Structure 1
Amino acid sequence: MTGSIALRLAGAPVVAGALVAVIADGRARDAADQAQGPFLLVAGLLLLGLVADGDGVFRWASARLLGVTAAPRRLLVLALVLVAAVTAVLNLDTSVVFLTPILIGAARAAGADEEAFLYGSVLMANASSLLLPGANLTNLLVLAGEPVGGATFAWRILPAALAAALVTGLGLLAVEELRARAAAAGSGDAAVRRLAGGARPATGMRSLGACACAVAAVLVLALPHPGLPVLAVGLVVAAVRVRQGAVSGAAAVEAVGPAALLALFSLSVLLGLLARSWTGPSDVLASASAWETTALGALSAIGLNNLPAAVLLSATPPPHPRALLVGLNLGPNLAVTGALSAYLWFKAARACGAYPSVRRFSALGVPLGLAAMAASLGAIAVLGSS
């Protein structure tokens, strides 16, 4: 709650400044045009995630995990695959908000050490956010000047996306294996007792949330600008559930987090205006190699947050857009300042009694993130398109 209030207060002058800039300068309107579609998309996806969660889609998926296996390593593999799939279809922010409690609960129910599940929910979400355009707003921001359908986007970046997800997943499995070997023989029973009630997730699922998610996935794949259509789908299904009393209006607003999105949108507009008034970022990128572009993207994400950084660095189409996305999407695994997903993950984890550590996040994320970026760039080099 304190963090949310602080974010609102910190965002207020940013919002005011951005609005003044938009009115005063046509270049800021261009920046707003670049940024608005992706932010509309993530708002729609977050609403869809809320409905899908209320309809039991995620609990059903978690129960299927436990129904397949309770062996910790196999369960972790399935959990990470679930994170990657939900991230690709419903955005990484939706993934961390709704899957983090499910992964922690599944780990506790199986008697597994929950660390790899806890940190894996956010690290794998970031690593999988190259898979489809809607998986991360940065994808749409950077490729705004290259309006292609989602299927074309996915095909061009698929090797890099798969490399990032595979390296991250293998690294998390290695972490789980090391901790399992070091754990005391009775730690599994203690982990089981930490799950309130000791029950597995409910298995029932209603169809509206699942169908709406499928429709959103088709729109993201088929349309070069899916933001407004996906938002419309999210608003419709959320309104249906609110009318039925299954979801409250306050819960819908909380799920979207308009204050945080508006603050990030406004900062993105201001940095977009800066990029259109100052050629420094585009000049640096114009002479940078693919590896240097990725490094610049990662450092900018950590320093500015990856959404504003994406607008700043892509006001002029960069020579290596996919290499830039590798840095912007995987760089946030190096530090919690890199993306909104980490903030949402902290909230979700604390809500279910987990206590994530900023230091541990980076201790795990730095080697995994660097290895994933190197693997992705290697795949891009083989493909011949950066």
Structure 2
Amino acid sequence: MIPLLAAVGLLVVVLLAATLRPFGLAEAVTAVPAAAIAVVTGLISPAAAWREIVELGPTVGFLAAILLLGHLADVEGVFSWLGGRLAGASRGSSQRLLGLVFVTAAGTTAVLSLDATVVLLTPVVLLTAARLRLPARPHSYACAHLSNSASGLLPVSNLTNLLAFSASGLTFLGFAGLMVAPWLVVIAVEYVVMRRFFATDLASPLVRPGPGAVATTGSDPVVSGNHCQGDDIRARPDFALAVLALTLVGFGASSAIGVEPAWVAAGGAVVLAVRVMVRREIGPVGIVRALSLPFCLFVLALGVVVAAVSSRGLADGLAALLPSTPSLLGLLAVAGIAAVLANLVNNLPATLVLLTAVGATAHPAIVLAVLLGVNIGPNLTYTGSLATLLWRRVAGDRGEPPRLGTFLALGALTVPLGLAAATVALWAVVTLTGVS
């Protein structure tokens, strides 16, 4: 019992440091020493720690590549261009803008991962709402929620997905085929609830700028009347969009040809990196910084600490609670337990522990139910996902700090409904297709 408590204590310290980031220190500053302590004190053997690092290696490699790809797409003007399109197509309507933000955030999360939605898209959405003089709150919360709940479509959409993908035994397209219905269902639930929850904000009339109120500098969208004309500043980034499209196609084909998704993401990132470096829009230091190597190191160290916790009895305890058959009630129970655990210890550690608990021979539907819980569940509290914590910081830095009461109330409405509906959709697809 004492070793388990010691391992859990290390995990709590790591998660608190990652959440609070005292003195602005990187997450790895606490996680790496914690992993070393776990090894030195015998909470996990050196061989087991190394095995965990090796197993996480391809996943972390993909994380670095996709973060770089998203950053380079931003340098190429993809998100500035999207901001212009959002503003122009909204025609000054907050309700229309919300619908467009939903489509854009869901697509960005699916293709470029939830980090791109939080770090790159959220500032553009907030700027667009500000330029159009529309309430920013509904659109900001839409980015936050969809960065989690809309991250279930593809193996590349979330770090948790990559972990589950490896454990599921599914192909890339097989994974997407099973998850597309739950993905669409939870997005629909989120949209319906947000339309009602933010009805007052969405009903606010457009406050039109005065005559001649045009503008900004740099790559900001330009406002004129009730339109935001991104083309006045930046043309459509056809090259970057083509690279992203080909990268997505490559993800789909990677399983068939036995190539890890990390290599596909790296290929797309290299193409964009060469282009922006030749044009001197970014230098080697900027490329290295965009890889977020300290965060990747944090993930590896966190994996070691979680492995120590799992090996000390937590995984066995959870295994006794988790159903092993993919019945509707079984899948609902797995998803519910996963959602609760994600909010208690954060979704990444929860995924690592739960995948150990369900075992290497678990039915793919059980693995995907775990994924629904750890992806949708974090919309209930700030601590459920690192992406949510990052969104809180991004929104606050741009003058739209979220309120805890609003976040909790919205999550209390969307998470139970969205999780239940998505799990039922998963069960229906698995039953109809006979996946085993």
**TM, length-normalised to structure 2:** 0.78
Task: State the distance in 2 between where 1:245 and 1:33 align.
Answer: 36
State the secondary structure of the residue aligned to 2:25: helix
- Following superposition of structure 1 onto structure 2, how do residues 356-375 of structure 1 map, counting pairs within 5 Å? 356-375=402-421
CA contact (8 A) 1:15 1:266 kept: yes
Q: Which amino acid aligns with 2:246?
A: V
- Following superposition of structure 1 onto structure 2, how do residues 214-363 of structure 1 map, counting pairs within 5 Å? 214-224=245-255, 225-235=260-270, 237-238=272-273, 240-242=275-277, 244-276=279-311, 278=313, 279-286=316-323, 289-315=330-356, 316-317=359-360, 318-319=362-363, 320-363=366-409
Q: Which amino acid aligns with 2:304?
A: V
1:98 aligns with 2:120: yes
Partner of 1:179: 201
More deviation in 234-243 or 157-166? 234-243
Q: Which amino acid aligns with 1:204?
A: A
1:39 aligns with 2:60: yes
1:60 aligns with 2:81: yes
Partner of 2:186: 164
More deviation in 44-53 or 281-290? 281-290
Task: State the distance in 1 between where 2:73 and 2:153 align.
Answer: 21
C-alpha distance 31-69 of structure 1, shift in aligned 2 (>3 A) = same
Task: State the distance in 1 between where 2:353 and 2:368 align.
Answer: 16
1:210 is matched with which residue: 216, 221, 241? Answer: 241
Task: Give the unaligned 5+ runs of structure 2.
Answer: 1-20
CA contact (8 A) 1:131 1:161 kept: yes
Partner of 2:14: none
State the secondary structure of the residue aligned to 2:156: helix
**TM, length-normalised to structure 1:** 0.87
State the secondary structure of the residue aligned to 1:133: coil
Task: State the distance in 2 between where 1:42 and 1:119 align.
Answer: 24
C-alpha distance 349-68 of structure 1, shift in aligned 2 (>3 A) = same
C-alpha distance 89-180 of structure 1, shift in aligned 2 (>3 A) = closer
> Which structure: greater helix fraction?
1
Task: State the distance in 2 between where 1:241 and 1:18 align.
Answer: 42
Partner of 2:165: 143
Measured after TM superposition, the shift of residue 249 of structure 1 is 4.2
Partner of 2:425: 379
Q: Which amino acid aligns with 2:123?
A: P
Measured after TM superposition, the shift of residue 230 of structure 1 is 1.5
C-alpha distance 27-355 of structure 1, shift in aligned 2 (>3 A) = same
C-alpha distance 343-242 of structure 1, shift in aligned 2 (>3 A) = farther
2:33 is matched with which residue: 6, 10, 13? Answer: 13
Task: Give the unaligned 5+ runs of structure 1.
Answer: none
Task: State the distance in 2 between where 1:337 and 1:250 align.
Answer: 32
Measured after TM superposition, the shift of residue 342 of structure 1 is 1.4
C-alpha distance 67-187 of structure 1, shift in aligned 2 (>3 A) = closer
Q: Which amino acid aligns with 2:280?
A: G
Q: Which amino acid aligns with 1:177?
A: A
C-alpha distance 147-216 of structure 1, shift in aligned 2 (>3 A) = farther
1:78 is matched with which residue: 100, 123, 129? Answer: 100
Listed one character per residue, the Cα deviations across residues 330-369 of structure 1 (whole Å, up to 9, x for unaligned) are 0110111111211322333234332223343222222112
More deviation in 7-16 or 288-297? 7-16
Number of aligned residues: 382
C-alpha distance 94-10 of structure 1, shift in aligned 2 (>3 A) = same
Measured after TM superposition, the shift of residue 220 of structure 1 is 2.3
Measured after TM superposition, the shift of residue 117 of structure 1 is 0.7
Identity of aligned residues (%): 26
Partner of 2:48: 27
Listed one character per residue, the Cα deviations across residues 138-171 of structure 1 (whole Å, up to 9, x for unaligned) are 1121231333322111101211111111111222
Measured after TM superposition, the shift of residue 114 of structure 1 is 0.7
Measured after TM superposition, the shift of residue 227 of structure 1 is 2.0
Measured after TM superposition, the shift of residue 172 of structure 1 is 1.9
Listed one character per residue, the Cα deviations across residues 49-101 of structure 1 (whole Å, up to 9, x for unaligned) are 11111111111122122222321111110111000011111101111111001
